[in-house]
Structure 1
Amino acid sequence: MKAFNRHGAFTYVEVVVVLGMFAIAAYFMVPLSLSGLSSTRVSQPASDVTSLIFSTQQDSFTQKDGSAHGIRFNSSDYDVFIGASYATATYWDTFELKNTVTFTDIDLTDIATLTPTNELVFDRGSMKPNAYGTISLSDGSHTYTVVINQEGLVYYE
C-alpha cells in the first residue's frame, strides 16, 4: 500500500494540469475580451450622440433660451448649436469623436425640401426634427447606427 502525502502539498503533475487548464481558458477568453473592448469604443460614442440628440430635443421642447436647438454632424466631430440653423446660430459647442471613431455615413433627409442635410434641428417648443434618417459611427471593425425618425424617436443599433 502506498503512503499518503502527509504535508498536504500538490504534486508536480497536479500543478501542471491546473496551469494547463488556465492557459487553455486564457487562450479562448482573451480574444473575446479584446473584441468586447473594441466594440465598446464605438458603442459609447453612439450612446453619447443618441443622448445628446435627446437632450437637444428636450431643450427645444422646453424652449430653453427661447430658440430652436440643433446638431450639425461632420466626419469626426459634431456641433451642438442654438438657432434655426448652424449658419444663424447664436451659440455652438463642438464635440470630437474619440478613439479613431468617425461618422462613416450621415444619411439625413430634410423633411421640408427632401434634400440631404447634415443638420438636425428641433424647432422651439417641438419634439419633431427638421430631418430624419441615420448616422453611422465606425472604428473600421464595428459600426453602430443612430436612427432618427420623423416623429423624433431616437435610438441606436
Structure 2
Amino acid sequence: MPSEAADFFAWTVKPTVSEFLVNPRDIRRGRLAAIVLNHMADYLALEGYVGHERNEMDSRVKAVREKLTARCPDFSLIRDIADVTKHAKLSAPKKGPLRDLSSSQQITRSPGIFQAPFGEGVFAEAVIVFATLNDGTVKPLEPAIHSVMAALEEQLAGVAS
C-alpha cells in the first residue's frame, strides 16, 4: 500500500527543498521549504490514521513534532519559520517552550555587494537567508534545512520498514 507521507515527501518536500538549495539566497523558496518540511510532521503523524477527530489528530501531530525536535533541534526553527510565514506574527505560548521567532521580518538575507552600504560590501561575500531569533542569535536557514531533511529521511525509512 502506498504511503501518503512518502508520496508527499517525494512529490512536494524534496522538489521544494531542492529548489531552495539550488538558490539559497531566495527568501521565498526558503520559506516554502520550511513550510513543507514543517507539514511533513502532519503526514508522518497521520499515516494510517483513518479517523477525523480533531483532538486525536492534534495529539498525534504534537507527539511527532516533539520527537522530531528531540532528534533534530533545527526542526523547531523550521517550524517557527513556517508558522511566522503563515501568520506574520507569533504570540508567546501560554505553556510549552517559547518560540524562537515572533515576526516574519526576522527572516531575511544578508545584503550582497550591491545592496550593502558603500564601503561595507565585499565581493564574493556569501548572501544567505537567515533568521534573527528573539534572543538576537542569527541562524542561517540552509544548514537547518539539511538537518531536518536528513531527520525526515531517517524517519521515513523507519516508517517504510
TM-score strictly above 0.5? no
Greater Rg by CA: 1
TM-score, L = length of structure 1:
0.31
The structure showing larger relative contact order (alpha-carbon pairs under 8 Å, at least 6 residues apart) is: 2
TM-score, L = length of structure 2:
0.30
Relative to total residues, which structure has the larger strand share, 1 or 2? 1
Relative to total residues, which structure has the larger helix share, 1 or 2? 2
